[in-house]
Structure 1
């Protein structure tokens, strides 16, 4: 039944692969392209449903149509158990005609019949052979000579080629050799017909590249041998289609008679020949388009063959084109000179046309093999590059994922540490207030109660205790302020720095009415920020400017702005004590002071608080100054926070 079904499908235009066991079927599915599977449930080495399950789980074959041949009782329980389904089920015993019709409904029209190219100069025999192949379901194409046959091979890409050994324009062996030069037709089965049964005729056919040779006297044997070749042909994907136009040969010689004879013989071998009568003309021909081989006479009038060879090999477009120098002499010096100029071969005209033809064919074959190898190398390099890029992209993605995870974890840990630190600072500062108030209160009470009985030394000690307590209280207030500023949310709105600066300087002037301080406040200093926090910034910066200009009379304090490209920079400048620029980076460090309490009182927290506020607004802050020449504190307040 298997053979009958396969024959019926073949007659219907479908190619079949017959398998007698699960093992053969698995091999066929792995190695052959299959469009539809017909499975019998009962197989000698297993159950067809197991193969159906394998197909449905395969990422390539899972959508392939599958017909199962079985009775309902054979498959119902297995289908329910394995939860897999075939495309359709055909009850046994089955009707072959109905199975073929079902295959046709699933796959549509059968594939295009295989094309067999017949190249034969005998019109009657050619027609009979094509008719016999047509009756077997093959599509045929016919050519009456070698040149036409090569052109049809280029345009139709036949499945097999049958070539007569003797024709008017070229012999069959030459045609087969030309076909074997083409990578896309190299594996195409070729059957060479011969008028002789001699063993040497078959040897010559096989050496030319034919797959088989048969005597041209029995049509049935020829057809059978052709079918055998088609059955044994491997089914595999081919390269991109390439037109098999006759190879172009450029012949260059200033002897018109020799040029005509040479060109005629080359054309008889199936080549497309271009002629040039000088080296200069050869360069013009090459400038118009490429050729597959160049035959160049060594001795010509004008530009000689050796010079023409040098120029051709110097051009990137023609550097790799095979070039053979022809000469009437075989002198050693001439051979060395020609090869040194870049020629690929050196042939004496006296060697005969057969030698020259063989050399031409060898050079063209070598060039094509090199081109194939180059394409393979380039493809391998592209594949390796793509694989390397994929690996690099994967490694980069994994590294980024790891870095992102580590960064997120570090941010969480940092945020937790900051919260704990702020909580600790606030708690410590808050808890220090009570004992500090007790120290201050009892020290003050001691002064009031025993003031008239204490000597001057004891009173000095008490004053020192009260001063230290007061400084400690200021320090705690500053720490609490810094902790509060680190937690409070930023509420942005329009803030007029000019107005705020005026209020701050007026308060500073009321505290020290005897001071002479000239203040200059630029008008219309407006930012988008938190007004409460920016008031703290100005309190600290203007307070510092007021403090460090105490020894100036009069002192000068200025608040204004500079333009740094698109960025607006605000500043507070004074002409007070100043500082060493080497210390500028440490000014904003908590508890770091450049002056002693005896020079200028302070806690060392003010500028640290200012920096924290500016950074929370997304801005920058820096300091410039010189000892005895004052200081300038600059800062920015972007419209939106950038970090």
Structure 2
């Protein structure tokens, strides 16, 4: 059963979801109406997938996604929203989601898409379970091997022993794991063992030696002569990460030395290849590796590794390894290499001969393998010129599903000398191929999801940029168009006051004065809008700016316009930066003007301009001893027309810091503030233009 948790605070949507999912085979639906309820469910109940609405009251779907990733790992997650939002999609993709769907009016279509995604995740789950089953089978094979198998780390502490080893020691695995392997080696053989282990290296990673071992649990006096092969796996450097020992008790059956040696070689071979499969990532390497290992066991043959696509009903030849004369004959008579060749499985003989069965299957002739593909005469020429004999196939399958096979052609008169090892190795290779198949399917799905999300983000970004350009152009046009009627209002009110002021009552005169004051206020706002629009539309012209000199010039200009204000100015070290000089002048003018304005209530206005280094990036600041602000309103200061102080006492339009924020962000920098009420105000900013690399 595939367990799905659906989280949404809309009870009607959850009810419709449960009704629709009632017909979904193999799917069990549970629901939650809040993030807290979902967390409690996940603590106590296994879950294969979570589907969540983005809006969940005080929390949201991204919060739930973060919680799941931190507590429950990579559970598949589908995010639902009532509207398209590129930022939400981009943030969700960073945490890894299976899909991102927008709730549609047509819920039937939405449920169909969700069910399709659930079915894909059900297939992935099945792949993982098949992989675990295959790995369990391989472990069972190791457990059932007649030879002794143990694994230990460089400190010689045992981490794994198979059933044969525990039976020989006459105890349980729990008593052996965590102990030192030298405890079971006779004292006279311990130095030999230690020297052999120390000599293991990436160049010489195996050692074969006979050791006498005993069981301290039952009969310490009874010794067993074990022929060991120790194989080391190296991660980095010359220190082994893991050492595996495969051994055979040769103390009783010396007459079977040859058979035992063959089994030891088989175990050592499988031990080495198992470790090599674990380190392998590229699919092409896996196919080539499988073919080369089978070829090493079947000299003078030709080995082909093929994968099967059950949906497309095709076989694809992934690689071919063999003697040079066979490869040359194939290229000559068939006119091409076989690698990459795609065969229709419903048109050929060999898929019908039971590849899902265990063991070797004798295949048809070369012509019948490639029927409808190559001429019969060409196939016969290859067989005759290379003296090819029988062809055998071994299938790679899981639960009756065929996903590949190994084919090899022998020379006439040759036989398979070690069929057990070849079959065991192909079973081992099946695990690797199954893992490759599952990983490839997952990678393809992730690529599709990422591509879709990136497209959505790109489209939303382009739309946002176009909207911003239109808004800036609109602001600029409107501000210009408002000036004409404003001038008329100011002009006529001035004439009315001068020529007919004596005929007006005191209240009328006061109203005329208020009209003129608000006209001037409106003019200031229009100028501010124009200034904000210009700051957003002007193309950046970065050049090296002497910030120290610019700050001093701006302060001198502002201080000259305030002759009655006592000002104490401190200008610290201000490294140069790469920025637009006009816009940077605007930044300094706005920040310093605010500093002087809001500190004029002090007996002496203290203004400080300086900088400091933060991880190689210069942070500039302007600080005053003015009236300050409450930090809970800090974000509002950077919005257009936001003023936190009485506009009658402190003149202004509320757009100065918005212009600063716009300019700094266009430079790729960041601006922020620190302040307390009645304890001054500090504004910090970076330019994002590589100012840290500019030197005097």
Under TM normalisation by the shorter chain, which class is it? 0.3 to 0.5
Larger radius of gyration: 1
* TM-score normalised by length of structure 1: 0.45
Q: Which of the two has greater strand per residue?
A: 2
* TM-score normalised by length of structure 2: 0.42
Q: With a CA cutoff of 8 Å and minimum separation of 6, indicate the structure with the bigger relative contact order.
A: 2
